[in-house]
């Protein structure tokens, strides 16, 4: 038992640390609008966020966990060393993005880190990546962009101007919008749980099954659930430690959203994220869906040229392209050096 504990300690700590960081960054897209409108007290946000993330992971996160835990790399290859290298690669990729001030997709970094390790070991399932996962990554942001562009150009002008107020304080006169803000915040947190908890939980679940033995690999689902129960609360910890610093700033580098716009974007992004989780079991980028919707809103307000000249938008596209490739290369090189 002590040998098993020793082999799992470092990977579990890395996974929990990763979850803490994801919780800090995930709070912003979930609760920034509600916090800005003062419809939810700051002290309540970490608890609500953590509960909804846990519920989302348990009720709707199974398919994504199975994709990451078994679909790209056989569980038998998730040794303590390989799992630690994968989690380290994800963390380094996110660290660089954070230093540049650009929110980065944990899901894409996770998939590419596992793919890098699998490629180095010669067991990468390229068919699933290129024919299932990659098309989803390309299509869903376009859908988020298209939906928000249509709504902001042709639907929102038909809505009463009062609903589109840019003054968060005036929100008290709109009880329906207040309710929608609260619901959308909880909905986004639920979707984050359904999709993103697997980024940290799936590798350690595969590692645990592999360390226990063949029977555990055959009964993989209970181990996934136990891993989720360990990892998901760390999202609440990250939200409590770091979430309040970023909840006010979401989207402002691209365009200043009104409470109404922020609510609509949250509903679109959460719905697409939940679709990817339940219907396809594919880990998907929350920040890219969010960014695509904000870019569409900016185009409708400021025009296409002005939007793509903004430094934040250019930096987003650069980091989104480079960071996942960096995660792949780091995992690939580290695996070659230490495991092959």
Q: State how far the Cα of 230 lies from the Cα of 223, in Å rounded to an integer.
A: 11
Give the pLDDT score at 101: 60
Give the pLDDT score at 305: 92
Q: Above pLDDT 70, what percent of the chain?
A: 85
Length of the chain: 340
Between 148-157, 248-257, 291-300, the lowest mean confidence (pLDDT) is in: 248-257
Give the pLDDT score at 249: 47
Give the pLDDT score at 149: 95
Kindly write down the DSSP assignment for every residue of 276-308, as one continuous string. IIIII-----HHHHHHHHHHHHHHHHH-HHHHH
Give the pLDDT score at 137: 93
Query: At residue 135, does pLDDT exceed 90?
Result: yes
The per-residue pLDDT of the chain, averaged, comes to: 83
Alpha-carbon distance values, 51 to 55, 137, 233, 240 (Å) = 6, 27, 8, 13
Query: At residue 167, does pLDDT exceed 60?
Result: no
- Full-model pTM: 0.88
Q: State how far the Cα of 156 lies from the Cα of 164, in Å rounded to an integer.
A: 8
Give the pLDDT score at 15: 92
Tokens of 100: 């540049």
How does pLDDT run across 218-231, given as a tens digit for each residue? 667 788 888 999 99
Kindly write down the DSSP assignment for every residue of 108-139, as one continuous string. HHHHHHHHHHHHHHT---HHHIIIIIHHHHHH
Q: State how far the Cα of 87 lies from the Cα of 109, in Å rounded to an integer.
A: 10
Report which of residues 253 and 138 the model is more confident about: 138
How does pLDDT run across 287-337, given as a tens digit for each residue? 889 889 989 999 998 999 999 998 878 877 887 788 888 889 999 999 999
Q: State how far the Cα of 110 lies from the Cα of 160, in Å rounded to an integer.
A: 43
Helix, strand or coil for residue 310?
A: coil
Query: 252-277 burial string, b = 16+ CB within 10 Å, else e?
Result: ebbbebbbbbbbbbbbbbbbbbbbbb
Q: Which of 100, 69, 99 has its CA nearest to residue 86?
A: 69
pLDDT band at 134; cut points 50, 70, 90: very high
Q: State how far the Cα of 183 lies from the Cα of 48, in Å rounded to an integer.
A: 11
Give the pLDDT score at 214: 60
Cβ atoms < 10 Å from Cβ of 241: 14
Tokens 């803490």: give the residue.
20
| Arithmetic mean of pLDDT, 167-191 | 78
Query: At residue 67, does pLDDT exceed 50?
Result: yes
* DSSP assigned state of 203: H
Query: At residue 166, does pLDDT exceed 70?
Result: no
Give the pLDDT score at 274: 94
How does pLDDT run across 79-128, given as a tens digit for each residue? 899 999 999 888 887 777 666 666 677 888 899 999 999 999 988 878 88
How does pLDDT run across 33-64, given as a tens digit for each residue? 677 667 788 888 889 999 999 999 999 998 99
Q: Which of 5, 4, 10 has its CA nearest to residue 81?
A: 10
Alpha-carbon distance values, 245 to 42, 52, 113, 121, 190 (Å) = 11, 20, 28, 40, 21
Q: State how far the Cα of 257 lies from the Cα of 252, in Å rounded to an integer.
A: 7
């Amino acid at each position: 038992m002590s040998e098993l504990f020793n082999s799992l300690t470092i990977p579990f700590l890395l996974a929990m640390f990763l979850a803490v960081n994801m919780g800090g960054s995930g709070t912003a897209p979930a609760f920034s609008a509600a916090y800005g409108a003062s419809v939810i007290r700051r002290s309540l946000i970490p608890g609500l966020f953590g509960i909804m993330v846990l519920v989302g992971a348990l009720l709707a996160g199974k398919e994504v966990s199975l994709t990451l835990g078994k679909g790209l790399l056989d569980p038998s290859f998730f040794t303590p060393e390989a799992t630690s290298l994968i989690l380290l690669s994800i963390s380094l990729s996110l660290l660089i993005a954070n230093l540049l001030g650009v929110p980065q997709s944990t899901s894409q970094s996770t998939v590419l880190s596992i793919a890098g390790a699998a490629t180095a070991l010669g067991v990468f399932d390229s068919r699933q990546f290129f024919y299932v996962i990659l098309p989803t990554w390309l299509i869903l942001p376009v859908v988020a962009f298209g939906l928000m562009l249509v709504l902001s150009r042709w639907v929102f002008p038909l809505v009463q101007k009062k609903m589109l107020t840019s003054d968060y304080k005036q929100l008290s006169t709109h009880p329906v919008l207040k309710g929608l803000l609260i619901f959308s915040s909880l909905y986004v947190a639920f979707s984050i749980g359904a999709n993103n908890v697997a980024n940290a939980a799936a590798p350690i679940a595969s590692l645990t099954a592999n360390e226990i033995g063949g029977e555990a690999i055959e009964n993989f689902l209970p181990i996934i659930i136990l891993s989720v129960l360990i990892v998901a609360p760390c999202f609440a910890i990250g939200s409590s430690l770091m979430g309040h610093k970023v909840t006010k700033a979401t989207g402002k580098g691209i365009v200043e959203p009104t409470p109404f716009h922020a609510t609509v974007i949250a509903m679109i992004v959460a719905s697409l994220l939940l679709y990817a989780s339940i219907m396809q079991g594919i880990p998907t980028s929350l920040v890219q869906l969010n960014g695509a919707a904000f870019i569409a809103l900016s185009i409708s307000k400021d025009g296409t040229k002005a939007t793509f000249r903004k430094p934040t938008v250019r930096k987003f596209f650069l980091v989104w392209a480079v960071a996942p490739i960096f995660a792949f290369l780091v995992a690939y090189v580290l695996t070659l050096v230490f495991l092959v």
